[in-house]
Amino acid sequence: MILQVKDLITRFYSVDGVVYALNGVNFALNAGETLAVVGESGSGKSVTMMSLLGLIPQPPGKIEGGQAFLFENDKPQDLLKLSERQVRRVRGGQIGFIFQDPISSLNPTMTIGKQIAESMIEHLSLSQSDARKRTVDLLKEVGIADADRRFDSYPHEFSGGMRQRVMIAIAVACQPRIVIADEPTTALDVTVQAQIIELIQRLQKQLGIAVIWITHDLAVVASMADRVLVMYGGTVVEDALVEDLFDNPQHPYTIGLLKAIPGATGLGEERLESIEGSPPDLLRELTSCPFAPRCQFVFDQCWAKLPPLISVTKHHRAACFYDVENEIPRKEVEHG
């Protein structure tokens, strides 16, 4: 285990009232694995990662509780307690990140070579010339032809897929142990998406990085994840190995989600089952299961309190009081 997040609570104090963005998020990340985080917009997947990296603008945002331990040589370090200076050393150093929209995350007035080299000079204390050499190697590694010349190009001279390759180069430049990829392929066409997934997987194997892959696309999850977190209403509702999640989903939301996408079950001839209703209103404090208003298995316990993650098997947990398979209430044994 290299990262453990416990009961993370983040809120935003907006003019419309308090936005309850994260309501106690729990998960762990193992070395070298690919953890996919899926959920719809507003489920809290991006806010979780931004909270860890100290990227939540404060105010209006506020991290109101929880811990996030980054383990180094088994020495835990709580990311939420670090000073701005210390967080900077982690961000881009031990944890690299790739955002959805490469054009707005790259500096348009700086050559891409400089942007990659910058982090290496900062984090690895390399000299200018060493950093340049390493950058050119990296650019070749991520599949940019004519890397020596492209070092001096600006972001606007690259296509969308190429820019995402540059972002990947920046993310892995300082040999991080974790890379957080926030919807890295959502803005790309499918053929380019396939290229980028292949590239990230290759680098992950080569460098032994753990990847947290945020996405809303379950098909992408199926193609690259080891383990999956399903998020809903600012909580983790299910945590399972990828095969278990697709073969044996436990939370009614996950079950509904898998029925709502074509191709999960066969030829896609049958009617899609949709989840009726809309995602939860985050302006209300969560005191019961966030999925209860849309859930077909709802019973009185669901309205009484927020369900914790309950173990189903050793590597499979679901935040639901009801055992859909056996049609009985689930025995509540909280998992550490």
53: contact with another protein by CB under 8 A: no
Burial of 71 (0-12, 13-18, 19+ CB in 10 A): middle
Q: CA–CA separation, 38 vs 183, rounded Å?
A: 10
Site string for another protein, 132-171 (x = CB under 8 A): ---------------------------xxxx---------
Work out how close the CB of 10 gets to another protein at its nearest, in angstroms, rounded to a whole number: 21
| DSSP H helices in the chain | 45-52, 84-90, 102-105, 112-124, 128-141, 147-150, 160-172, 190-207, 218-224, 242-247, 252-260, 300-304
Q: How many residues bind another protein (CB under 8 A)?
A: 48
Is position 218 an interface residue for another protein (rule: CB under 8 A)?
Answer: yes
Smallest gap from residue 103 Cβ to another protein (A): 14
Residue placing its CB nearer to another protein in the complex, 147 or 225: 225
Nearer to another protein, 1 or 194 (CB): 194
Q: Does 243 bind another protein (CB under 8 A)?
A: yes
DSSP secondary structure of 72-129: ETTEEEEGGG--HHHHHHHBTTTEEEE-S-HHHHS-TTS-HHHHHHHHHHHHH---HH
87 is a contact residue toward another protein (CB under 8 A)? no
261 binds another protein (CB under 8 A): yes
Q: Is 104 in the site for another protein (CB under 8 A)?
A: no
* Spatial separation of the C-alpha atoms in residues 163 and 155, rounded to whole Å: 7
Q: Does 323 bind another protein (CB under 8 A)?
A: no
Give the SS3 label for residue 230: strand
| Position among 16, 74, 84, 276 found at the interface with another protein (CB under 8 A) | 276
Window contacting another protein (CB under 8 A); options: 84-92, 133-141, 192-200, 313-321: 192-200
| Interacting span for another protein (CB under 8 A) from 97-105, 204-212, 271-279, 310-318 | 271-279
Among 279, 293, 308, 329, binds another protein (CB under 8 A): 279
- The distance of closest approach from Cβ of residue 122 to another protein in the complex, given in angstroms and rounded to an integer, is 31
Number of C-beta neighbours around residue 4 at 10 A: 16
Rounded to whole angstroms, how far apart are CA atoms 124 and 121?
6
Query: Using CB under 8 A, which of 78, 148, 273, 332 touches another protein?
Result: 273
DSSP 301: H
CB of 39 to another protein, least distance (A): 9
220 is an interface residue for another protein by CB under 8 A: yes
**Spatial distance between the Cα atoms of 331 and 321, rounded to a whole number of angstroms:** 8
Stretch that binds another protein, among 61-69, 106-114, 174-182, 215-223 (CB under 8 A): 215-223
Q: Distance of CA 270 to CAs 17, 255, 265, 273, Å?
A: 43, 16, 9, 9
**DSSP-assigned letters across all residues of 206-226:** HHT-EEEEEES-HHHHHHH-S
**In the complex, which residues of this chain contact another protein (CB under 8 A)?**
40-41, 159-162, 189-195, 197-198, 216-225, 242-243, 246, 256-264, 267-269, 271-276, 278-279
